[in-house]
Amino acid sequence: MDLERILFSQGFGTRRQCRGIVADARVRVAGALCTDPDADFPLTAPLDFEVDGQPWRYREKAYLALNKPAGYECSRDPQHHLSVFHLLPPQLTTRGVQCVGRLDQDTTGLLLLSDDGAFVYAFTSPKRKVPKVYLATTRHPLDEAQLAALVEGVLLHGESKPSAALAAVRRDDHLLELSVVEGKYHQVKRMVAAAGNRVEKLHRERIGGFALPATLAAGAWCWLDEAELAALRRE
């Protein structure tokens, strides 16, 4: 693939802008300066390049994990807070990454993003029943009756069928680990309320078999490699 198209595919601007970036001697490929936008590079092996000194690796599709902090909306057109896309390099938003599902603005933790439509669908479709694990800090102490109700199923306001958790574990008196497969609006908060308690803080810890890396700081993001993508698909 020629260098102009490589930069374009990675979100560095329009085709014309990418051609200008190369012609202006702002690109190095494998450490070597390249000023020919038509220079061809094989994509059979990892291709590393730099634009204005910023290192980048060619990726056909983008798969990301973000440790979402509170106070950010999972929208490109936020209403009351900053968008989570403010936490990403502009190249990623330019190439069209989108949130794989959403977290409320006050909910923290694991958020996936991708520009792969099939991947987004696979992890948001109700048919897939991908388990998601949340940590909920509750206002009132947890008791066995609440845990049992969450697993047996609680009826949410406006719903005709009960919603049940895969598992409900009390980590301490006010910390609930809840595993769910549905993705209804405010589901965890509504389920806990229906069981007789209230969520004060909510954090998503895991999707499928992939847990939020302990080393990923709030507001930081990372690429997902093949092993991590495989872990996501493990339930």
CATH of the domain at 174: 3.30.70.1560
Strand partners for 48: 57
Stretch 6-13: mean pLDDT, rounded? 97
Provide the domain limits for residue 180. Answer: 132-207
CATH of the domain at 21: 3.10.290.10
Which run of H or of E encompasses 76?
A: none
13 and 38 share a domain?
Answer: yes
Neighbour order of strands in the sheet with 54-57: 32-33, 27-29, 48-51, 54-57
Q: With the C-alpha atoms ordered 44, 46, 50, 54, is the resulting torsion angle positive or negative?
A: positive
Contacts of 78 (CB under 8 A, 6+ apart): 72
- The confidence score (pLDDT) of residue 10 equals 97
Per DSSP, 38 falls in state T
pLDDT tens figures, 107-147: 999 999 999 999 999 988 878 889 999 999 999 999 999 99
Total count of domains within the chain = 3
CA 153 to chain centre: 28
Exposed / middle / buried, residue 125 (Cβ in 10 Å: 0-12, 13-18, 19+): exposed
Non-local CB neighbours of 80 within 8 Å, separated by 6+ positions: 73, 105
- Specify whether 69 is located in the same domain as 86: yes
Segment 9-23 mean pLDDT: 96
Of 17, 126, 43, the closest CA to residue 7 belongs to 17
Q: What is the reported pLDDT for 235?
A: 62
Check whether residue 137 and residue 105 sit in a common domain.
no
CA–CA–CA angle 143, 147, 148 (5° rounding): 115
Q: Is the pLDDT of residue 68 over 90?
A: yes
CATH number at residue 98: 3.30.70.580
Q: Give the residue among 127, 129, 97 at the shortest CA–CA distance from 112.
A: 97
**What is the amino acid identity at position 17?**
Q
Span 168-221, pLDDT tens digits: 999 999 999 999 998 888 999 999 999 999 999 999 999 999 999 999 999 999
| Average pLDDT taken over every residue of the chain | 94
Active site residues: 104
The pLDDT of residue 220 is: 98
Are residues 219 and 122 part of one domain?
A: yes
Co-location of 139 and 179 in the same domain = yes
Residue 8 sits in the same domain as residue 118: no
Specify whether 160 is located in the same domain as 202.
Answer: yes
Claim to verify: residue 51 and residue 67 sit in the same structural domain: no
Strands (E), 25-115: 27-29, 32-33, 48-51, 54-57, 63-68, 72-73, 82-83, 98-99, 108-114
The reported pTM is: 0.92
* Segment 62-77 mean pLDDT: 95
CA distance 151 to 164: 5
Residues 196 and 142 both lie in one domain: yes
What's residue 33's pLDDT?
97
pLDDT at 104 over 70: yes
Whole-Å CA distances, 32 to 13, 35, 39: 22, 10, 12
